[in-house]
Every structure is written in C-alpha cells, then in structure tokens.
Amino acid sequence: MAIMAAQASPLDESLLHGKHEQENLRDDEVNDVEEQLLPPCSTDGASFYGTGGASFYGTDGASFWRSCLNLSNVISGIGMLSVPYALSQGGWLSLALFALVGAVCYYTGKLIDRCMRADRSVKSYPDIGHLAFGAHGRTAIGLVMYVELYLVAISFLILEGDNLDKLLPSTVVELLGYRVHGKQLFVLVAAAVILPTTWLKNLSMLAYVSAVGLVASVALTASLVWAGVAEKGFHMKGSSLLNLSGLPTALSLYFVCFAGHGVFPTVYTSMRAKRDFPKVLLISSLLCSLNYALTAVLGYLIYGEDVQAQVTLNLPTGKLYTRIAILTTLITPLAKYALVIQPVTTAIEEKFSTAVATENKGLTRVLTSTAVVISTVVLACTVPFFGYLMSFIGSSLNVTVAVLFPCLSYLKIYLPQGVSRIEVAAIVGILVIGVSVAVVGTYTSLHQIIGTF
C-alpha cells in the first residue's frame, strides 16, 4: 500500500540540524524513564478518541504495543461504517485515492511527531499551534477541534437512531400526547441513556469501554464476510470503475477514516519511549488501512450501488450477524459521546467560571451538559443523512486538522533552521491537495445536506 511507500521516501527523514534537533537527541536518551502522563480527559480532543488517562498505563508510560493498540483505536472509528459507501461514490479506482489519503495522513502524522520534538513543553495539539503561530494559532486550532467534536457527537446520535431503528423496527411510543417513532425515537432514547454520563466530572473510566471500538471494527468486517457467504454473495453487478461526480464525497469520507491527528500529541506524550512513535504510527496506520480497505471492498461487492451510508443498515433484519454488527457498533458511540462532548462543555463552563460561585459549579456542569446534549439531539433529528454529515466533517474539519495544520506548523517551526527543497515541494503539494479537497468537499456536502430539506 502507498503508506508503506511513504516510509522509504526521502521525505521521511528530516534534514534539519538546528538546535531543536540536538535537543531531540538528548530527549531520546531519557525517554525510557521519562514519566509523561496522559491526562484522563484532555481538552485538546484526546477524550474523543478514548485514549484514557495516565492511570490506564501506570506511571512509566505506555509500552510500545499498548501504544499501537491506543493509536489504532484513535484511527479506527466510525469511518468504518461509511467506507463502503465512499467506495460506491467514487468507484473502484477511488481505492487509489484511499491509499493516497492514507499515505498523506501517515506523513502528516510524522510531521506532528517532529513538531512535538521541536520543544519539550509541547504536550497537545493546541500547544503545537501556539509554538508555530502564537496565541492566535492556539485559538484557531482549538476552535476547529471544538466544532469537529460537536459535529461528531451529532453523528453519534444519528448513528444510534438509524441502527436502533434497524434493530427494532416499527417501534412507537406515546410521549406527551405525541407519537414518536423511527429514528427520532431512538435518538431520544440514546440521548436519555447518554445524558447522565455527561454530568460526570471524571470520565476516565469510560475510556475502558471505548476500547471496544476495535472489537466493533473487527465484528463489522466479520459480519460482512458472513453476509456475503450466507446471503447476498460477492459480485460486481452495478459497480462502477470511476464516478467523477462522487469523488468529492469519497475523498471526504476517506479523510474521516484517517483523521485522528488531534490526539496524536496526547498518544505521543503518553508513550514510555517517544522515539518509537513513528513505528507505532506506521503499524497502526497499516493495520487500520487493511481493515478499512477490506470492509470497503466487501461492502461494495455485496451491495454494489445500493450500499448505504452506514453499511450496517444494508444487513438483513433478524439475522444473528446483523445483531452482532449493530450491537457492537452501538456500544462505542454510547461510551464515547460523553468523552467527545466533554471538552466542549468544559470550554463553555470556563467562560462562566468567573461569574459562578464555587459551590454552584456542579449545577453549572449539569445545566451546561444538558443544554449541549439537547442541542445535539435537535440537530441529529434535523440532519437526515449520516453520510452527508460525515462528508462535511471530513472535508471541512478533518482535512484542516489532519493535513493543513500539520504542514503549516511544520514549515513555520522548521523553515528558519532549513528544510530540503524536496520536502518543501512535497508539503506544498500536500497543501494544494488538502485545500482542494476542503473547498470542493465542503461545497458538495453542504449542497447535499441543504438539498434534503
């Protein structure tokens, strides 16, 4: 795959020899005993990906293989559900773009690693923004990440509503004189289950549950294999080689698959031997790429052009493998919603912290969290299609976090010390690709969302 090619590329090695690089050599000598702890609920977005707290690893930091598991959990997310739909939108040749996106995101992950090594005080993604662009850089990347987390929380509720409706069709409930049914009913049910978890101050225990996301990914792939063998079979009927009109959507969804860059610095900080982060990144990227590609190919072979934005919705009702796929898929959003929305509610709380007495902060947290949950419920019931929202997140926000910001920060930090022309040319090319995807993908996804009303 193209990701492997990135490892051997001349772009993989930094050609810098300034004072930052000399400090990095000394840093590596003490990494094995350095106690860099992962905060249990970081406001930089780490909580979204469920990487957990320092106590999750012990005081010596995360081992190599636990870091691989950790980073794989970061990369492998709800993009698994939409990758067959992305392939159907772009056609078989779009798999080449999938590999390209994987390679680009792997390389920009390496750039984040180098930015982290530039200054030992850098612990989070906003810290990189501050190092590169000052206070304005921290504010800009923080704002993008908060919006991203908020929209992902909405996508979780849409996912819950659609799949529970698939699992329990024709369910109707009388609520305050109104008959509530279908997706809206289950969005409300999911929100009612989730709401108490958002009131908790310490969410580190939910990180254990969120690790089931990896199990859910494997279960989904296994269910598609089961469905292909037992039911529909594997065929090429109705599948296209290339669909130019669908490429913007496909590209945006491919970026959703690989965009976990906001939490890379937190995983890096949690590691016992930080010099091993590039190896951890390579192994995690390859494993997740293979699982994504297998899921995309299986889903498209089985359902062709009829594959839905959430492939679980294509699975036949009442089958055991359908129940397994949906249940494992539903657990992760239930566990991760509170982790996703916590940085957003914390930021809102901080705005009112000076005006609220200490004894009332608990009540403020409950009211703020409840208001945020209600707002996501309203939007989840309003935005009708999971795929369109994920496409918007991928094109407008994930591309910014995973491509544009790492490239710009790296150039800003390291250009004064000297960067090779080859590397500069490659980064400029990546920036051009990123901006193109962001502009075209955002326009396309917004046009699709608006067109459904």
Rounded to the nearest 10 degrees, how much is the dihedral formed by the CA atoms of 38, 218, 220, 334? -20
Residue 314 has pLDDT above 80, yes or no: yes
Q: Which amino acid is at 95?
A: L
Residue 10 has pLDDT above 80, yes or no: no
Considering the four listed CATH numbers 3.90.340.10, 3.90.550.10, 1.20.1740.10, 1.10.730.10, the one that applies to the domain covering 2-9+32-451 is 1.20.1740.10
Residue 107 has pLDDT above 90, yes or no: yes
CB atoms within 10 A of CB 346: 19
Q: For a pLDDT cut of 90, what percent of the chain falls above it?
A: 25
Specify the pLDDT at position 320: 85
Residue 205's pLDDT band (boundaries 50, 70, 90)? Answer: low
**Tokens standing for 379?**
């939007």
Element (H, E) at 131: helix 125-133
Answer whether 433's CB lies under 8 Å from 255's CB. Answer: no
Q: Which residue has the higher pLDDT, 234 or 143?
A: 143
Answer whether 381's CB lies under 8 Å from 199's CB. Answer: no
Residue 244 has pLDDT above 50, yes or no: yes
Specify the pLDDT at position 382: 82
Residue 95 has pLDDT above 70, yes or no: yes
Mean pLDDT, residues 327-351 taken together: 79
Residue 137 has pLDDT above 70, yes or no: yes
Residue 13 has pLDDT above 60, yes or no: no
Q: 78-92, 334-348, 385-399 — which one is most confidently predicted on average?
A: 78-92
Residue 12's pLDDT band (boundaries 50, 70, 90)? Answer: very low
Dist CA 287 CA 274 (whole Å): 20
Residue 410's pLDDT band (boundaries 50, 70, 90)? Answer: very high
Residue 103's pLDDT band (boundaries 50, 70, 90)? Answer: very high
Answer whether 376's CB lies under 8 Å from 198's CB. Answer: no
Closest CA to 256 of 153, 124, 102: 102
Residue 17's pLDDT band (boundaries 50, 70, 90)? Answer: very low
Residue 384's pLDDT band (boundaries 50, 70, 90)? Answer: low
Q: For a pLDDT cut of 70, what percent of the chain falls above it?
A: 79
Closest CA to 107 of 14, 11, 17: 11
Question: What is the pTM for the complete model shown?
Answer: 0.75
Residue 172 has pLDDT above 60, yes or no: yes
List Cβ neighbours of 421 (8 Å cut-off, separation of 6 or more).
none
Specify the pLDDT at position 104: 95
Mean pLDDT, residues 66-87 taken together: 83
Predicted confidence (pLDDT) per residue in 40-64, tens digit: 333 333 333 333 333 334 446 778 8
